Amino acid sequence: MAIAELLWNHPDVITAIISIVVSLTAIIYTKYSIGLQREHNRKSMTPLPWIKLGDYDSEIYVILENHGVGPMIILRVSVFKSNDRSIVEKDIFTWMPPLKEPWEDYVSEFKDRSVRPGYEIPMIILKEENFKNGNFKTVRETIRKTLSELTVEIEYTDVYGSPFNSYKRDLKWFDRKMPKEIIAALST
């Protein structure tokens, strides 16, 4: 009874208690909102690696792309034979046979490079236009065979240094079997 009488006789105490409750609620809500905003900021800066493969009559390529919404920082690239991880190289180019003709483009150093969202880094690009002696088809088949035995693994992070599972893609696609009708049409 004494507390009810005290509150009834002193309304300023009720105002003070309500002010404290509202202030504590605001602090808790603000802390929660800041946590949600930080989580949103991290998720909205997530990189998403993709290895794009191209195998055409006049061009072969392997390109690393960032399909995410945030920058991708490459920590390490590992390239190894799909069935044997005892030899690991830092790029695809090291696995390629030596050529007399120049490569259109290739990158051999990936560590600490960043890739903006929507941008790419060519791992290797070989174009027929660089072959003056007309032996592109033979070289292309050799490159296809070599690529089809490889797997590429990308270890990466975002601008916050968040850990991600490594991205891995085998390049067996270059060894796909084409129907005989298509092969006959291509060789004419």
pLDDT truncated to tens, each residue of the chain (188 aa)? 577 777 777 778 788 888 999 999 999 999 999 999 988 877 778 999 999 999 988 899 999 999 999 999 999 999 999 888 788 888 898 998 888 878 888 888 999 999 999 999 999 999 988 888 778 888 888 899 999 999 999 999 998 898 999 999 999 998 876 655 555 555 55
Q: How many CB atoms lie within 10 A of CB 132?
A: 9
Q: Are residues 139 and 56 in the same domain?
A: yes
Q: Are residues 65 and 139 in the same domain?
A: yes
Q: Are residues 59 and 139 in the same domain?
A: yes
Instruction: Report yes or no on whether pTM surpasses 0.85.
Output: no
Q: Are residues 13 and 85 in the same domain?
A: no
- Residue 105 structural domain: 49-177
- CATH number for 57: 2.60.40
172 by DSSP, 3-state: which? helix
